[in-house]
Structure 1
Amino acid sequence: MLDASARELDPYQAGCPTRRILDLIGGRWTVLIVGALGEGTARFSELLRRVDGISQKMLTQTLRSMERDGLVIRTVTAEVPVKVEYTLSEAGRTLTEPLRALERWSIEHFSGVAASRSEYESRIAG
């Protein structure tokens, strides 16, 4: 059941603060990072290897946003060299199944979407 303040939120309204959360969790990199961390705790370099194509800068920015919003826990261990690990928070773990469903959907429907794109481009081209 939603509390009173949650009932007042409406992401379809331009000024609703939930839109920032939707932007974050709907982003390509967040989906892939949640998927990677759904397999367990990982160091930055491990995430960089696992999420092929993401730059160090984008990984850093996305992890910071996810940490700020309470989706990721960053743990620093005072070793030489310093060890930094990332894990999903309880809130972040609640995203794994919905985001995996999107991942599965994209795989299952890829060929149909690709065919539709090709057909559309052919129609537009003339």
Structure 2
Amino acid sequence: MDQDAVLSFLSAEAFRYYLQAFMVYDIRGEIHYNDVVFHLVHGLADQGAAEKINPRRYGDRTAWDSAVYRHSVFSKAQAGAIVEYLKFKLEAEGSDGFDTPSIQQALANYWLARAGLP
């Protein structure tokens, strides 16, 4: 399952289907080649709002637009599970962890509201 960067190449629907398994395996410490956190926070941190993705091809589409579209397939309950996973990763990272700022920003900017949480 943990082959190269497979999460980068999944359709939005396939990402939705397989994400739960990747999160469980990551919590168990069995993911080594796929950065699950990256795929849940990229584009949702503060810099994502203005970061354009290949303007020659996609015009004014930003990393934020892409991330919101990709994550739009999740229900509120699924978004809630993602919030809990990100909180788990945040606690594991600690206050000075590499992913800490991105996780905090993605939770505040998108995931908490998406899950209907305060």
Q: TM-score range by the shorter chain?
A: 0.3 to 0.5
User: Higher relative contact order at CA 8 Å, sep ≥6: structure 1 or structure 2?
Assistant: 2
Give the TM-score of the pair, scaled to structure 1: 0.36
Give the TM-score of the pair, scaled to structure 2: 0.38
| Greater radius of gyration (CA) | 1
More strand by share: 1
